[in-house]
Amino acid sequence: MKHLIAIALCSILCVLILLLACSAPPEGKTVFIESGCTRCHEINGSGGSQGPQLEGLQSKWTPESLEEFLSDPPAYAKDNARLLAYQKKYPTPMPRLEITPARRKILVQYLLKRYP
């Protein structure tokens, strides 16, 4: 009987380990926080002041354009009149985010949904 209980417990433990190893990709909020967005951007009255508030993003960005911008902000901004105007008010340039394309896509989806 003890042998059966030990086998059952080992089986349960293996299933739990597999579930943790195959967990869902990080949620947008997690990527947002880990990327440090609030260090520079004010959100709902709190956060940094080195970048513009994150609001009304859907009127300014498509998912594709925001993803392209986040892949290389300095290169994208040099040909964009709106972003060049922001540079006068916020002289600290947006840094390149060191995140994978998959995490960038998750971040874009989160930003456009959370700050429409």
* 67 within a domain of the structure (yes/no): yes
Strand (E) or helix (H) holding 47: strand 46-47
Q: pTM, whole model, 2 decimals?
A: 0.71
* 83 within a domain of the structure (yes/no): yes
- Token pair 């995140």 is at which residue? 99
pLDDT of 104 = 95
CATH of the domain at 85: 1.10.760.10
* 4 within a domain of the structure (yes/no): no
The total of structural domains in the chain comes to: 1
* 42 within a domain of the structure (yes/no): yes
End-to-end CA distance of the chain: 59
Candidates 71, 58, 74, 73; CA nearest to 109 is 58
For residue 83, the enclosing domain spans 25-114
pLDDT tens-digit map of 4-46: 555 555 455 444 454 444 555 569 889 988 988 888 887 777 6
* 109 within a domain of the structure (yes/no): yes
* 73 within a domain of the structure (yes/no): yes
* 14 within a domain of the structure (yes/no): no
* 97 within a domain of the structure (yes/no): yes
